[in-house]
Amino acid sequence: MPSPALFLDRDGVINRRLPDAYVRHPDEFELLPDILPILVQARQHGMLLILITNQQGVGKGLMTHAELNVVHDHMQHLLQRHTGFALDAIYACTDLATTASERRKPAPGMLLEAIAEHDIDVTASWFLGDSLTDAQAGRAAGVRTILVGPFQASDADVVVPDLASVRIIAP
């Protein structure tokens, strides 16, 4: 039976976003505690947890794929320690914004890949993000969207001011 998924943006959702900089080292990865109950709740609803992140710092040559993987291993260990589980899958697009990439958000490529590679119930799934491009990618892939931040109500299916206000609607 297909599973619903909670697709998650990374910077500003799982970890504190660094203004005008990339998280290149585990020391720079600051977990946002308010994401933890969201992950636990989604897990209790039987949702797959799948990261969908743009990381063009690699494409710019500011960090390597290996460094990005080290940061993601660190993230998974932190989540495991705090919740008892880690994310089910990680999709990262390292293409430059200038390349018209089909994977880079706002394009839905990474979501479509994840949907193809896992048995996902698309209409019961959500994308949680903090940028308009997250909602655009989610909508293009046919999932419901939650945006955290100062957005218009029309920008996503659900708009909330902060992570603490996110309630996962049971699929």
Tell me the C-alpha distance between 158 and 128, whole Å: 9
What is the closest distance, in whole angstroms, from the C-beta atom of residue 144 to Mg ion in the complex? 18
Within positions 127 to 166, which residues make up the interface with Mg ion, using CB under 5 A? Answer: 130-131
Tell me the C-alpha distance between 21 and 7, whole Å: 23
Tell me the C-alpha distance between 43 and 68, whole Å: 25
Within positions 74 to 133, which residues make up the interface with Mg ion, using CB under 5 A? Answer: 130-131
Q: Does 53 bind Mg ion (CB under 5 A)?
A: no
Q: Choose between 23 and 124: whose C-beta lies nearer to Mg ion.
A: 23
Tell me the C-alpha distance between 5 and 106, whole Å: 19
Q: Choose between 101 and 131: whose C-beta lies nearer to Mg ion.
A: 131
Q: Choose between 2 and 12: whose C-beta lies nearer to Mg ion.
A: 12
Tell me the C-alpha distance between 140 and 52, whole Å: 14
What is the closest distance, in whole angstroms, from the C-beta atom of residue 14 to Mg ion in the complex? 9
Tokens encoding 140: 């293009």
Binding site for Mg ion (CB under 5 A): 9, 11-12, 130-131
